[in-house]
Amino acid sequence: MNKNKYLKAYYDDDGLLIKGLKSLKKEGVEILDVLTPFPVHDIDKILGYRRSWIARVGFIGGAVGAVIGFGFQVWVFTVDYPLNIGGKPFLAVPSFIPVTFEMTVLCAAFAMVFAFLIRSKIGPGAEPFIHDERSTDDRFLILVGVGKNATEETVSELKNKISNTGAQGIVLKDDVELSKNY
Amino acid sequence: MEISFSFTSKFKIPVFILILTGMATIGYSIFVLHDHGERFWANFLLNNVFAIVISLCGLVFIAIHNLGNSGWQVAIQRIPEAVSMYLPFGSILMFIIVISMCFDANHLYHWVHPEGDVILEMKKGYLNVPFFSIRTLIYLAGWTFMAIWLRKVSLKNDRDNDIKYYRKSITISAIFIVFFAITSSMAAWDWIMSLEPHWFSTLFGWYVFSGLLVSGVAVITLITVLLKKTGYMPQVSKEHLHDLGKYLFAFSILWAYLWFSQYMLIWYGNIPEETVYFIERLKGFNTLFFINLFINFGFPFLALMTRNSKRVPIILALVSIVVLIGHWLDFYLLVMPGTLGENAQIGFVEIGMTLGFMGFFLFIVFTALSHANLIPVNHPYLKESLEYHTQY
C-alpha cells in the first residue's frame, strides 16, 4: 500500500458541501481539493488558502513594462536617433506617455496570464486531468487524502466520517497521476 | 430593521461652526475687501458648482446602480440619496449668481459685454444672459425634480412593500441618465468653460464629469465611514467599502485619462488659441498645476492599489479627504485663472468660504439622512447587499 490514495466524496448541493467541508476540516481530515461546477463562496476561506499573488505579478510586470516603454523612447529620441518632430523638444514627455501606458498594460497582462498558466499547469500542450466529469456538470466533489500507510480500518473510519456529513457517495481511488498534481 | 440617524449636537456643533466661519468670511469678503466683490463671486461660483457637482454624483450613483440592476449598494443607498438632496439648495444659490448677472452685479463672465470683441460677438447667439439663464434653469430644475422624485419613490417603498416602486425608480433613472448625459456636458461649458469664452475644448464636459464621479464617490465614502464609525451603519461591511474604494481608484484613473487626453492634444496641436489655456495655468499656477496632477492621480493610484487599503476604513477615508481637496484644487484651477487671474490666491477667503459651503452641504445631507430609515427595508436587493462578498 504505498500508492497515493484518496477518497472521492460526492455531494448534491453546495450548501451540503460547505457544511461537510467545515465539519471535515474541524475533524482534521486532510482535504486535497474541492471541485465544483460553479464558483462557491467561502471555500477558499474554509480551506485556509492564502490570497493569490497574481496581483503582485501584475504590478511587477506593469512596472517593468512602464520602465522599458518609457526608457526605450527616451533612448531612441535623445541618444540613438534624435528627430525634430513638429518643433517639439527631443525629450517630449507627453508624447511618450501613450506608448508607456500601452506597454504597462501589455506587460502586466502577459505577466499575469503566463504566471497563471505556469502555476496552474494548464495551457497549450498540457494534458487535462479530470477527476470526475460530473464535477463539471451537477456534482460537487471533495477529495480527501488517505495517506500512504493507511490500513483498511482507518479508511472505513474516514468513510464513516464523510458519510455522516451527508455525502451521497464515496469512492476510494489509488491514482498515480494524482501525485503529480498534489 | 429600523436604524434612524439622529442629527444630534455631536454633529450639529461642528456643522454650525463651519457655517458660521463661512458667514464671517462672506461678510469679510463683501464689506472689508475693496475689490467690487470679485473675490467673493469667484469663490461663490467655485464652491457652489463644486457642491452641486458632488450632490449630482449622488443622483448619478443611484441611477447607474438602478439601471445596472446591481444590488451591493442598497446598504448605503440612503447616503447618495441624502447627498443628492443638496440640489434644490444649490440651485437657489446658483440662481443668486444668475440674477446678479442679469443686474450686472458680478463680473464673472465677461461675455456678458461682447461689444468690441469679435470672437464674443460671433458667439453671442449662444452666450447671452437670457439664454444662459434659461439653460441654467433647465439643468437645475431637471436635476432637482428627478432627485426629489427618486427620493420620494424610495421613501414610499419603505412604508409600502411593493416591487412597483423599484420598477418606477428604474424608469426615472433611465430618463435621468439621458437627460444628464446632455446637460452635464452643457452645464460644464456654460458655468465653467465660458469663464474663458475665447477658449474651447470638446472634451471639457467629460473632464468635469470625471471630476464629478471622483469627488462624489469620495464624499459618499467619507459619510459612509463616518456613520459606520459612529455606529449608525452596522449593515455596512468591509465589502461595501471595498467597492467604494474601487470606484475611487477607477474614477481617479478616468480623470487622469481625460486630463491627459485634453492636455496632450492641445500640446501636440500647438495652436495659440488652444494653448493659451494651459500657458495661463503653467505661468501663474505652476505649483498647483503639478500638485493637482499628483494629488488626483498619483496619490490615489498608489495608495488604493492594494486590496487592504480599500478595506481599511481609516485609509480609505484619508484617501477620500486628500482626493476631495485635490478636486477642489482642480476646480480652483478651472475657475480662478479666468475670473481673478493674477489676483488669485488661496487665502483666508478661499478656505473660509469652502468651509462654510461644507457646513451648509453637511447640514442639508445630515438633515436628509435623519428624515429616513438608514436601511431601505423593502428594497428587493437588500438581502443581496447585506450578504455581499467581493473577492478582489
Residue A179's alpha-carbon distances to A119, A138, B378, in angstroms, are 16, 26, 53
Q: Which domain holds residue A160?
A: 5-37+138-181
Name the residue facing A97 among B260, B305, B392 (closest C-beta): B260
| Whether A76 and A112 share a structural domain | yes
| Whether A66 and A15 share a structural domain | no
Residue B357 is predicted with a pLDDT of: 96
Beta strands A31-35 and A140-145: pairing type?
antiparallel
Contact A94 B260 (CB under 8 A): yes
In a domain? residue A97: yes
Contact B307 A51 (CB under 8 A): yes
| Whether A145 and A172 share a structural domain | yes
pTM of the model: 0.89
Q: What value, to the nearest 5°, has the Cα angle with vertex B21 and ends B19 and B24? A: 110
A87 in reach of chain B (CB within 8 A): yes
Name the residue facing A95 among B268, B307, B392 (closest C-beta): B268
- A–B CB contacts, 8 A cutoff, strictly below: 20
Integer-rounded Cα Rg, in Å, for chain B is 21
Higher pLDDT, A1 or B62: B62
Q: How many CA atoms lie within 13 A of A31 on its CB side?
A: 24
Per-residue model confidence as pLDDT tens digits over A49-103: 888 889 999 999 999 999 999 999 999 999 999 999 888 999 999 999 999 999 9
Using 70 as the pLDDT threshold, list the residues of chain B that sit under it. Answer: 1, 392
Q: Any residues with CB less than 8 A from the CB of B309 and at least 6 apart, and which?
A: B245, B303, B315, B316, B319
Compute the distance between CA of residue A14 and CA of residue A39 in angstroms, rounded to an integer: 10
| Whether A28 and A58 share a structural domain | no
Q: Read off the C-alpha cell for B43.
A: 469663490
Contact A59 B307 (CB under 8 A): no
- Tell me the pLDDT band of A27, cut-offs 50, 70 and 90: confident
Cβ burial, residue A140 (10 Å; 0-12/13-18/19+) = buried
| Whether A113 and A143 share a structural domain | no
Q: Read off the C-alpha cell for B62.
A: 443611484
Higher pLDDT, A41 or A54: A54
Contact A87 B267 (CB under 8 A): no
| Whether A26 and A58 share a structural domain | no
Q: Read off the C-alpha cell for B347.
A: 487665502
In a domain? residue A45: no
Judging contacts by C-beta atoms under 8 Å, the chain A residues touching residue B264 are 94-95, 97-98
Phi-psi region of B58 (alpha: psi -120 to 50; beta: other; left: phi over 0): alpha
In a domain? residue A144: yes
B33 in reach of chain A (CB within 8 A): no
Compute the distance between CA of residue A144 and CA of residue B38 in angstroms, rounded to an integer: 77
B307 in reach of chain A (CB within 8 A): yes
| Whether A67 and A94 share a structural domain | yes
Q: Any idea which of A10-14, A169-173, B31-35, B36-40 has the lowest mean pLDDT?
A: A169-173
Buried b (16+ CB within 10 A) or exposed e, B191-226: bbbbbbbebebebbbbbbbbbbbbbbbbbbbbbbbb
Q: Any residues with CB less than 8 A from the CB of B386 and at least 6 apart, and which?
A: B75, B235
Answer with the one of A120, A155, A172 that is the final residue of a domain.
Answer: A120
Q: Which of A18, A15, A34 is nearest to A145 (CA)?
A: A34
Name the residue facing A94 among B267, B306, B392 (closest C-beta): B267
Q: Read off the C-alpha cell for B284.
A: 501663474
Name the residue facing A94 among B264, B305, B306 (closest C-beta): B264
| Whether A99 and A64 share a structural domain | yes
Whether B338 and B286 have beta carbons less than 8 Å apart is answered as no
Whether B214 and B286 have beta carbons less than 8 Å apart is answered as no
Q: How many CA atoms lie within 13 A of B51 on its CB side?
A: 29
- Identify the residue whose cell numbers are 526608457: A71
Q: Please, what is the average pLDDT of chain B? A: 92
Helix, strand or coil, per DSSP, at residue B236: coil
Compute the distance between CA of residue B258 and CA of residue A20 in angstroms, rounded to an integer: 51
A39 in reach of chain B (CB within 8 A): no
Q: Residue A170 — φ and ψ, nearest 5°?
A: -135, 130
Compute the distance between CA of residue B74 and CA of residue B78 in angstroms, rounded to an integer: 8
Q: Which of B309, B335, B355 is nearest to B14 (CA)?
A: B355
Q: Read off the C-alpha cell for B174.
A: 433611465
How would DSSP label each residue in B78-90?
A: HHHHHHGGGHHHH
Query: Max Cα separation, chain A?
Result: 85
Residue A179 is predicted with a pLDDT of: 47
Residue A138 is predicted with a pLDDT of: 85
What is the nearest CA distance from A97 to chain B, expressed in angstroms?
9
| pLDDT, mean of residues A108-116 | 95
Tally the domains of chain A: 2
In a domain? residue A71: yes
Compute the distance between CA of residue A162 and CA of residue A158 in angstroms, rounded to an integer: 6
Share of chain B above pLDDT 70, in %: 99
- Centre a 10 Å sphere on the Cβ of residue B277 and count the other Cβ atoms it contains: 21
Q: Which of B178, B212, B161, B42 is nearest to B110 (CA)?
A: B42
Q: Please, what is the average pLDDT of chain A? A: 85
Answer with the one of A93, A120, A147 that is the final residue of a domain.
Answer: A120
Helical packing angle, A54-74 and A93-120, nearest 10°: 150
In a domain? residue A91: yes
Indicate whether A3 pLDDT > 80: no
Closest residue in A to B262 (Cα) is A94
In a domain? residue A125: no
Compute the distance between CA of residue B95 and CA of residue B136 in angstroms, rounded to an integer: 8
Indicate whether A175 pLDDT > 60: no
| Whether A62 and A101 share a structural domain | yes
Strand-pairing partners, residue A174, are A5
Indicate whether A151 pLDDT > 80: no
ipTM: 0.80
Strand-pairing partners, residue A34, are A142
What is the nearest CA distance from B275 to chain A, expressed in angstroms?
14
Q: Which of A48, A43, A14, A10 is nearest to A28 (CA)?
A: A48
Whether B154 and B58 have beta carbons less than 8 Å apart is answered as no
In a domain? residue A79: yes
Whether B143 and B56 have beta carbons less than 8 Å apart is answered as yes
Q: Read off the C-alpha cell for B87.
A: 440640489
What is the nearest CA distance from A94 to chain B, expressed in angstroms?
6
A55 in reach of chain B (CB within 8 A): yes
In a domain? residue A46: no
Beta strands A31-35 and A169-174: pairing type?
unpaired
| Whether A148 and A110 share a structural domain | no
Q: Residue A147 — φ and ψ, nearest 5°?
A: 95, 150
- Identify the residue whose cell numbers are 443638496: B86
Name the residue facing A94 among B263, B306, B392 (closest C-beta): B263
Mutate to test the interface with A, among B246, B261, B268 (most CBs of A within 10 A): B268
Residue A2 is predicted with a pLDDT of: 47
The CATH number covering residue A157 comes to: 3.30.70.600
Q: Which amino acid is at B287?
A: T
| Whether A71 and A111 share a structural domain | yes
